Amino acid sequence: MLDRVTPATPSATPLAPPPGKAPEATPPRRIAHLDMDAFFASVELLRYPQLKGLPVVIGGGRRREDDVLARLRETYPDRAWSEATLDRVPVDFFPRLSGYTGRGVATTATYAARQFGVGSAMGLMKAARLCPQAILLPVDFDEVRRISRLFKSTITEIAPQMEDRGVDEVYIDFTHVPGGQREGGRVLARLIQKSILDATGLTCSIGVAPNKLIAKMASEFDKPNGISVLTEADVQTRIWPLSVRKINGIGPKAEARLAGFDIRTVGELAARERDWLVDHFGKSYGAWLNDAAWGRDERPVVTESEPVSMSRETTFERDLHAVRDKAELGTVFTRLCEQVAADLQRKGYVGKTIGIKLRYDDFKTATRDQTIGHFTADAKAIRQTAGQCLKRVPLTRRLRLLGVRVGNLVKADSEENRLSPPVSWSQSATTSGAGRRPDESEPELF
């Protein structure tokens, strides 16, 4: 029992509650994880409502509106087609996965396609074997980002303490929001669901729990358009029977190691002593495994976080060769640098570590980076330094992916950036021990 402490002076005495009114108790922590349902696919179904209920897979390339309209006008020349008439496109017009031979990857799939085993990050050739009748649609990143901003702004109008975790998911602190404690948070979750549906036409699933770890698992319990509310008392009955992979932070390698010790469920993980986990998985990760299995997580909902880096990358529809496809690669490379520069400028950041990422036709990946002596968000400077990085990787194999990254970021208006004087290219290269400034006598690789 805690000892009672008597204040030394009257001024240290806490204020007493008004007569007849008990002191207010601290409300229990209520954290929500919100996940949009099959987000990329759902965005496309807003455009093509005639595909609702059908197996649809999103992936394989970017949407090009002009190409779609051109094919429609060629196929159905007797009709007038525009972006406003896409809901009248016959279902038979859409391409099917059957016979797909490319190397694209599924971004997501509708729930009708998931019933056949199709999932995100799956190769489209495998998806075609599982569900050949599925309709294949490209990704419209611009529309996805627009609706992502819309649903997030809808949330913050109701519950302002929101942590952005990607294009289609967020954490929200319900604890002190009006209605956030009613029915364990279910009342507020229903309000947010309805508000998002009204604003975007899309559904989401929400898990509410004492912390972020359990909330994320709970949001998967009742998809789509579901709400699951869990308390500490539910950990043993609802969480322990789950596979350890359901814990965010346990990947395939950790799962395989745990299986080697006959640990496959969260409950079996919780049954192991903390010291045993530390001995076998290290001090930090072992202790975290024990906390996660028992549903312990004190991480706050972070409303603002500084990005570590910004990057852009693209996967080619066919493998490209550094020499024979030099012009095409050069155009793509320049565009990626310009896009990263635009991202930095729009968000008010500058960086001084510039890098590249290549994936070859054998799926091996190479990365190189170079730290220059000053911060920048200039597309030309990024292009020149990234070009130096290219000289340090083999380019004999064909390329299937190219990416550009800028790291070591600070705010453009920060003191660190203002006190960082520009330096010459030779000095910049010396910082990382890489090359010299390209000039007219030394052509760029692409």
Sorted by where each starts, the structural domains of the chain and their CATH numbers stand as 39-139 (3.40.1170.60), 240-298 (1.10.150.20), 309-432 (3.30.1490.100)
Cβ burial of 211 (10 Å; 0-12, 13-18, 19+) is: buried
Q: Confirm whether 74 is a catalytic residue.
A: no
Q: Position of tokens 């932070």? A: 249
pLDDT in tens, 23-32: 567 889 999 9
Choice among 303-307, 314-318, 393-397, 423-427 with the minimum mean pLDDT: 423-427
Secondary structure class of 45 (helix, strand, coil): helix
| Unique residue bearing structure tokens 């196929």 | 75
Phi, psi of 320 (to 5 degrees): -115, 145
Catalytic, out of 169, 220, 273, 298: 169
| Contact criterion met (CB below 8 Å) for 160 and 152 | no
Between CA 20 and CA 399 the distance in angstroms is 75
Cα–Cα distance for residue pair 392/366, rounded to 1 Å: 10
Pairing of strands 135-139, 56-62: parallel
The model's pTM: 0.68
Please answer whether residues 54 and 135 qualify as being in contact, where contact means their C-beta atoms are separated by less than 8 angstroms: yes
432: confidence class by pLDDT, cuts 50, 70, 90: very low
Residue 333 structure tokens: 């490379």
Q: How many Å apart are CA 35 and CA 38, to the nearest integer?
A: 9
Q: Do 123 and 105 contact (CB within 8 A), yes or no?
A: yes
Residues 6 or more apart in contact with residue 7 via CB below 8 angstroms: 13, 14
Q: Which amino acid is at 205?
A: S
pLDDT in tens, 57-109: 998 777 776 678 888 899 998 888 888 889 999 999 999 999 888 778 888 99
Average pLDDT, the chain: 87
State mean pLDDT over 354-360. Answer: 95
**Banded model confidence at residue 121, pLDDT cuts 50, 70, 90:** confident
Report the distance separating Cα 353 and Cα 343, nearest Å: 15
Vertex 203 angle, CA 198 and 206, to 5°: 115
Q: How far apart are CA 172 and CA 139, in angstroms?
A: 27
DSSP structure class, residue 426: H
* Helix 186-200 × helix 141-158 angle, to 10°: 140
CB atoms within 10 A of CB 123: 15
Q: What is the DSSP track for 237-248? A: IIITTSBGGGST
Q: So what's the pLDDT on residue 307? A: 79
